[in-house]
Structure 1
Amino acid sequence: MKQQTFSQLNTHWRFRYCHGGTLRRSSKGRGARPLSSKDPIHLVFKINKAAVRSGLRSPRSFNLLRVLLKKYSRKFFVRVEQFSIQTDHIHLLVRGSRRSSMQSFLRVVAGQFAQCLTDTFHQKNEGEKVWKHRPFSRVIKGYKPYRIVRDYIQLNEAEAWGRPYSKTRLRGLSEEQLRELWA
Structure 2
Amino acid sequence: MKLSSQQTFSALQVHWQYRYCHGGALRKSSRGRGVRPLSSKDPLHLVFKVNKSAVKRGLRHPRTFALINMLLKKYSFKFFVRVEQASVQNDHIHLLVRAHRRTSLQSFFRVLAGQFAQVLTDTFSRKGEGPKVWKYRPFSRVIRGYKPYLVVRDYIQLNELEVLGRPYSKSRLRGLTQEQMRELWI
Q: How many residues align?
A: 182
Letter in 1 for 2:79: F
* Whole-angstrom distance in 2 between the partners of 1:56 and 1:28: 29
Contact 1:39 1:95 in 2 (8 A): yes
Identity of aligned residues (%): 73
- Which residue matches 1:9? 12
The answer to whether the aligner puts 1:149 opposite 2:152 as a matched pair is yes
- Which residue matches 1:166? 169
TM-score (norm 2): 0.95
- 1:170: how far off? 3.5
Contact 1:86 1:157 in 2 (8 A): yes
The answer to whether the aligner puts 1:36 opposite 2:39 as a matched pair is yes
* Whole-angstrom distance in 2 between the partners of 1:99 and 1:123: 33
Contact 1:118 1:125 in 2 (8 A): no
- Which residue matches 1:94? 97
* Whole-angstrom distance in 2 between the partners of 1:56 and 1:45: 11
The answer to whether the aligner puts 1:103 opposite 2:103 as a matched pair is no
Give the match's secondary structure for 1:24.
Answer: helix
Unaligned stretches of 5+ in structure 2? none
Contact 1:45 1:135 in 2 (8 A): yes
* Whole-angstrom distance in 2 between the partners of 1:135 and 1:105: 12
**Which segment is superposed worse, 168-177 or 90-99?**
168-177
- Which residue matches 1:182? 185
Report which of the two has the higher share of helix.
1
TM-score (norm 1): 0.96
* Whole-angstrom distance in 1 between the partners of 2:174 and 2:28: 27
Contact 1:17 1:34 in 2 (8 A): yes
Unaligned stretches of 5+ in structure 1? none
Give the match's secondary structure for 1:14.
Answer: helix
Give the match's secondary structure for 2:7.
Answer: helix
- 1:172: how far off? 4.2
Select the structure of larger CA radius of gyration.
2
* Whole-angstrom distance in 2 between the partners of 1:138 and 1:2: 33
* Whole-angstrom distance in 2 between the partners of 1:107 and 1:121: 18
- Which residue matches 1:74? 77
* Whole-angstrom distance in 1 between the partners of 2:7 and 2:12: 12
When the two chains are superposed, the root-mean-square deviation of aligned CA atoms in Å is 1.2
